[in-house]
Structure 1
């Protein structure tokens, strides 16, 4: 079928998975915070910054995810 979208496979770096595991002990909702980002990428909405240099076979993205467990908010400097 020519109009059918190609399936998007997401693979996490081993370091990323280890970091999420470690952070989940401190930030209980980290997996829930990541889920909407994963769903957007699977839907073909490539959010965040694309890391160049991987050719056309792979797309590497750098995405910031809001930490809903943390009570801190970024304070914007006012000049």
Structure 2
């Protein structure tokens, strides 16, 4: 059981899994009294791709800012 290894109640874990399922990040399938969840990688891959693009853009901006800050002062 997933909740056994976590410092939160079983009910809290269930609520979090329901939120993840509603967001399309996991899929739950009932197996007797249990619900087994499986991670859906596609939405997570899309999120990772989006974050990578944002990271690359910020890296470019920060490099440009660093060059400007380290440039010798212009002569008056």
| TM-score normalised by L of structure 1 | 0.24
Structure with higher RCO (Cα < 8 A, 6+ apart): 1
Say which one has the larger Rg: 2
Q: TM-score, normalised on structure 2?
A: 0.25
